Structure 1
């Protein structure tokens, strides 16, 4: 899980650097490496998190718990998407002036969130179920 947060933070840093260097003339292919790193890091982070959370429910309730967890995760992501997209679109407007600075701000806050996630992830159990043996042991 910690590796995922490091990869996500690296992706956010790559995005910030790309936007800093390219300004508002940044293209989709220039953003692709940073976005790919963020996506891979998110996958590496969320898969073990869901496993740990679902380990706390009874086996016959796993389907309901999985649906609830997915619904809560998606609905909690929606409120954060609107301010980010509004900030990004205002950074792209021709009147905005120094748009590179406005774009780096969301990328920087994402890196900060990744740092907090990295630190707090050490509070979670190492394995979803204590009786579960690690692969290869």
Structure 2
């Protein structure tokens, strides 16, 4: 009898702790800002030749990367398997000077960036324009 009372009390205490932990973590994860920008991060490829995109895992398992000229002509389209987080590089050294539009779509969210390719000394360089 004493053992069953002790086990019942232990079960009650453990279930209360688990419930409290789940409630606290649910409150910590609520965010009023959408996390669209957090799905992709940018970095330079070696020797500043291009852009390395690091894409977070997506629910659909696919992320679409499209690169357009400033007049809307599709230059490059890529479907990236994002069943897990992945990094992929895109080389810009063959592009003409000017502005380009980068579009990254995943799980119904679309990120649009403007990439400016310019001449820096004797080599091409680029930057992502701030909005």
Which TM-score band (shorter chain)?
Answer: under 0.3
Identify which of structures 1 and 2 has the higher relative contact order when contacts are C-alpha pairs closer than 8 Å and 6+ apart: 1
What TM-score do you get using the length of structure 1 for normalisation? Answer: 0.22
Task: Indicate the structure with greater strand content.
Answer: 2
Larger radius of gyration between Structure 1 and Structure 2:
2
What TM-score do you get using the length of structure 2 for normalisation? Answer: 0.23
